[in-house]
Amino acid sequence: MHTIALVGNPNSGKTTLFNALTGSTAYVGNWPGVTVEKKEGMTNGHKILDLPGIYSLSPYSPEEKISRRYILDEQPDLIIDVIDATNLERSLYLSTQLAELGRPLLLVLNMEDLLIKDGIAIDTKRLSQMFGTPVVQISATKKTGIDELKEQIEQSLANPQTPPCPLFSSSIERKLTTLIEDDYLHDIPQGRQMRWAAIKLLEGDELFLETMPPIPPELNTYLEETRAHLEELYDDDVESIIVDQRYKVAEKLARESLVRQEVKAKRFTFDVIATHRIWAIPLFILIMSGVFFLSVGVVGGGTTPLLEGFFESLAEWVTVKGESWQIHPFLIGILSDGIIAGVGAVLTFVPQLFILFLLLSILEDCGYMARIAFIMDRQMRSMGLSGKSIIPLVIGTGCTVPAIMSTRTIEHQKQRELTIIVTPFIPCGAKMPIFALMLTYFFQNKWYMAPLMYVMGILAVITTGLLARAIDRHKETNAFILELPRYQMPSPKSVWRQTKDRTLGFIYKAGTIILLASILIYLLSSYSFAFKTVDAEESMLAIMGRVIAPIFIPLGFGFWQAAVALLTGIAAKETIVSTLSVVIGTSSLTNFFDPAGALAFMTFILLSSPCVAAMAAMLKELDSKRKFLFAVVWQFGFAYVVSLLVRCIVLIIV
Amino acid sequence: MSNTMDVLAVGQKGSVKAINAPKALKRRLMDMGFTKGVGVEVIKMAPMGDPMEVAVRGYHLCLRKAEARSIELV
């Protein structure tokens, strides 16, 4: 079996191509850094890997180190270099580095459709001649050229050829030749190209030198002399000279293969207002409010009561029919008060989540996300975060897990950790049902309550950020460099696929975790420890719930039902809704909570630790038990204190 | 007084002369295409005037003024 690696700049469409080749449905979006982990798939019997996007093979950035190590250590049988054809120069700069790794290389010019739109044409034959590798032009989104690409993959695998290395100016080439002839490089590890090794040696690349035996003194003297000579000649350090040389090669390749370039008149674009000095931030707030108004308000408001009614009558129907068919009351109970009440309570929210996921996918696909990072950077920085932190926060309104994963594009470690800690404060889609449920019974006709929950989440992010910044003694500044991709019409196919996957994921949870939890909760609340049918008040669940319930007395929900609901919420947040429906029954909620307690309950859920999947993502991304523990304790403590405050305020005001 | 990229106004163009930054940042900026002699154009500023959007080698990227200050122009 052959191994193929997809390599290329961020946002060049590697994952879209990966999906087109393998028929899978991996997560795609239009901002640099959607893919943060390598993904494996199969195409035509070959193993194919989708690697995170990189701009270079420098020894500084973690993704670049990973990709470089992967290619050198795993020796894929073919590297497919995915190139954003509208960004030829910068893409070819990476290609010049890939060509030196000694693996067969295939250039794929992606985004053919955008090229045509721009009135640009690339002479692929000429590029192939000059660069010395096969070149295929495709559009991964529109699925053009995929068959030719598959054919070329087979040819390249059947007849593997390492590409020629691009040549630099003669003063550097002479030095490289001397280095290649030196005995030292004859011991380089298997698979390393001589020329590549010579360049790394000249640059003094730390990662490369770690893998090599110590440099003999004579060679070291030669290297130092050479570096000094070149530095004087080019008035720059050797590493920069090499970058410069590579870009010269890329420039030449791009210049000579571009055959037609019509200059188009600038049209009014969305960008004028999206990044407008005054209107950009109001527009962002408006867009996000619109997303929630449409999903929760319009669609949720319309469908939730209907579905609630449906599940209620279904439960009733089952009870009546069950009794007439003389089915054991135990089974009827499990079915109507356990499964239908629990799972139904969660399924009620499918339509509004579908709309939420749909709108978020459109935002992710159109290129707006990177602009939000651009316009919000200044504000985020004053809270110790980076402009890039806003992307996880927006994704977090859908689901916290991918949001936490997406923090990987934040270069600065401290800012990244802080972003991971605050992202769960943004209520995810699964917390929405809880708020909706409580609002229906306690704050009807108070339209401002739902937005208030989001505002509180945002305030929690800001407070934590400001505190972290105040405590941090070394206020180091760091780089914020982000490519702004082109806007594009979201592809209906990919938007639909992502929306469908996320919605089905939610329904799947309802059919598995929630179903099991509902049955379990029903059983535990119907039996005592002696396995006798008892009143809920004496059930196993009540006894267990009473152990932790006292903690919540100050918050106004110190009864066992709430404690149990919160506990089951650890599995998945929407379980809180199903548990409450099973142990209390939604219509009796008002007998248990007073409005102040209800609001405190919502606040506590909003801010306290997320579900187990999100916690696992936090642990993995923080990569430190101590930091993870801190994050969880902070979230819990913060939630507790704020909920207490909220309750006191409501009690005083009302 | 050296002329750096952060002082360019929206719509102004320049040509890179040198990058004066620590090793890792310098390499990153060069990897993104800021090499000697390359043309840059400031496209716009974010609200509050920082960061800035710059066109280089036919694509757009944003960077903070602090980084733009390390890019010296001719």
Per the DSSP assignment, residues forming a β-bridge with A48 are A4, A41
CA dist., res. A497 & res. A64, Å (int): 30
Chain A interface includes B35 (CB < 8 A): yes
The residue of chain B with its CA nearest to that of A245 is B35
Residue A90 to residue B50, Cβ atoms within 8 A = no
Q: How many CB atoms lie within 10 A of CB A463?
A: 15
The alpha-carbon gap from A94 to the nearest alpha carbon of chain B, in Å, equals: 9
Which of A196-210, A510-524, B51-65 has maximum average pLDDT?
B51-65
Residues of chain A with C-beta less than 8 angstroms from the C-beta of B27? 56, 58, 60, 239-240, 243
Least confident piece of the model among A11-25, A539-553, A595-609: A11-25
List, for residues A120-173, the tens digit of each pLDDT value: 899 999 999 999 999 999 998 888 999 999 999 999 999 998 888 888 999 999
Residues of chain A with C-beta less than 8 angstroms from the C-beta of B50? 377-378
Which residue ranges make up each domain of chain B? 3-73
Classify the C-alpha dihedral A568-A573-A576-A582 as positive or negative: negative
Amino acid, res. A422: V
Residue B64 to residue A60, Cβ atoms within 8 A = no
pLDDT of residue A8: 94
List, for residues A30-48, the tens digit of each pLDDT value: 777 777 677 888 888 999 9
pLDDT surpasses 70 at A475: no
CA dist., res. A210 & res. A206, Å (int): 6
pLDDT of residue B73: 95
Q: Give the best residue of B19, B20, B23, B30 to mutate against chain A (max A CB count within 10 A).
A: B30
CA dist., res. A168 & res. A252, Å (int): 12
Decide yes or no: CATH 1.10.287.1770 for domain A170-261: yes
CA atoms within 13 A on the CB side of A222: 16
In terms of residues, how long is chain B? 74
Quickly list DSSP for A203-248: HT-HHHHHTSPPPPHHHHHHHHHHHHHHHHHHTS-HHHHHHHHHHH
- How open is the CA angle A46-A51-A57, to the nearest 5 degrees? 120
Average pLDDT over residues A593-603: 94
CA dist., res. A191 & res. A72, Å (int): 7
Least confident piece of the model among A99-108, A577-586, B13-22: A577-586
Q: Give the best residue of A374, A409, A413, A487 to mutate against chain B (max B CB count within 10 A).
A: A374
Residues A389/A380, Cβ–Cβ less than 8 Å? yes
Where does the pLDDT of residue A487 fall: very low under 50, low under 70, confident under 90, or very high at 90 and above? confident
- What ipTM was assigned to the predicted interfaces of this complex? 0.96
pLDDT of residue A263: 59
Where does the pLDDT of residue A474 fall: very low under 50, low under 70, confident under 90, or very high at 90 and above? low
CA dist., res. A375 & res. A597, Å (int): 38
Which CATH number is associated with domain A3-158?
3.40.50.300
Which residue ranges make up each domain of chain A? 3-158, 170-261, 280-527+534-626
Specify the pTM.
Answer: 0.87
Sequence-separated (6 or more) residues with CB below 8 Å from residue A530: none
Chain B interface includes A481 (CB < 8 A): yes
Q: How many CB atoms lie within 10 A of CB B52?
A: 22
Residues A600/A608, Cβ–Cβ less than 8 Å? no
Q: Give the best residue of B62, B63, B65 to mutate against chain A (max A CB count within 10 A).
A: B62
Least confident piece of the model among A3-17, A130-144, A485-499, B39-53: A485-499
Decide yes or no: CATH 2.30.30.90 for domain B3-73: yes
pLDDT of residue A149: 96
List, for residues B19-71, the tens digit of each pLDDT value: 999 988 999 999 999 999 999 999 999 988 889 999 999 999 999 999 999 99
Residue B67 to residue A87, Cβ atoms within 8 A = no
pLDDT of residue A69: 85
Residues B63/A479, Cβ–Cβ less than 8 Å? yes
Q: How many CB atoms lie within 10 A of CB A336?
A: 23
